[in-house]
Each structure stands twice: as structure tokens, then as C-alpha cells.
Amino acid sequence: MLFFSFFKTLVDKEIRVEFKNGVEITGTLKSIDQYLNLKLDNIKTDVDKYPHLIAVRSLFIRGSMIRYIHLNPVDVDTSLLQDAARREAIATGGDKFAGR
């Protein structure tokens, strides 16, 4: 759940999504679920390359279509992310934490 948890904090932030088919779309992340399906708003893309997206304002993206998501570094708390990753690793190892 780490990625889901992580991406939840990026809601309302701008991200750039790179699809497995090469399309790149920048937009505001509106929603995400546990499959990392995304909902983007106010999308921007290279309309010369992808004219079919010219009229699209918001998108739902199936998580499995995504190759990369580019983030703004200021939106990421790396040390917290490290802790979270460690915690998850520890927790999945069966060693649950008592509380926070």
C-alpha cells in the first residue's frame, strides 16, 4: 500500500504521466486508487503529436498503462518515504508496529 499511500499525498499536485505507449500527459492528480489508476484534471500534452487529446480536459488512466510518473521533488518527503518503506518492509515481515 506504500505507493497508494504515497500518491494520495500528491492529490491536487501536478504530475507528469508517461504511458507505456509513449504518450506523455501533464495534469493535476485528482484521485488515485489502490491499483494506481489515476484521475487527471486540466491535462496538458503535446497536441501536435496527439491531436486526439486536444479536446480532452480530464482523464481516467488505468494504472497498468503507466510507465512513469514524474513528480515535483518538493512534493516528496524523502526521509519520511524511507521510513514508510522500512515500516512496510518490517510490517510485511510479520513484525507489526504497535501504533504510529
Partner 1 sequence: MSFFGFDPTGPPSSKRNDAEELDFDDEDDAFNEETFGADVTDIRKDFDFGYGAKPQAEESILKPATQSSIKPGLSYAKAAQEELLQPMAALWGDSTSNEEERKEVTEEKDDSKKVLSLEEIEAKLKQQTPSSAGVQGTANVPGQPPVVQQPQQQFPNPYMLPPQVQQQMLAAAVASGQFPNMESASQAMAQSMMAAAAFQQTGMMPPLPFMNVPPHLQQQQQQPGQPQQPQQQPPSGLPQGQVPNQPQSQPESQQGKTQTAGRPVSQPLSVDRFPPIGVGIEETAKPQINQQQQQQQQQQYHQQQHQQYHQQQHMYRNNNRGYNHQQQRAQRRDYYQQQLQQQLEQMSPEEREKFTIRQNKVSKITRCSGFMGPKDKDFVTRFQLSQIVTEDPYNEDFYYQVYQIVKSSLGGATNDVNSIAQKYLDQSGHRLGGRSKRVDIALQRMQQQVSKAVTVAKERGQRSSGLSKEGALGRVSFGTGKQPRQQIIIKKEEASSEEKDDALPKEYKFPRSSRSFQLSIIEDIYTQVLKLESMERENQTYQTTELWKSLHLNDKIKTSTDEINPFISILSFDKTMKVFQRLFHFLSKEEQEQIIELIFTHLQKIDIVLKSSYKNYADTNYSIPKNVNDKIELFQSTIMRALVIYIGDTNFQQILSILNEIISNNNVLFLCTTKIGCSLLTVIISRLELIKQEYSKNLSAQDLSNWSLVYDKLFQGLEGRLASIFPPFFSNDESRKVVNEETNKNDGYIWQFLATLSLGGLLNHQRIIVDEIRNEIFGVMSLSKTTKEEGDAVKAAGLLENLNLFLNVMGLNATEDDISELASEA
Write out the residues near partner 1 by the rule CB under 8 A.
1-2, 4-6, 8-9, 11, 30-31, 33-35, 77, 79-84, 86-88, 90-91, 95-100
Q: CB neighbours of 68 closer than 8 A, spacing ≥ 6?
A: 17, 18
Q: CB neighbours of 75 closer than 8 A, spacing ≥ 6?
A: 9, 10, 13
Residue 76 C-beta: closest distance to partner 1, Å: 9
Between 72 and 82, CB nearer to partner 1: 82
Residue 44 C-beta: closest distance to partner 1, Å: 22
Measured from the Cβ of residue 68, the count of other Cβ atoms closer than 10 Å reads: 11
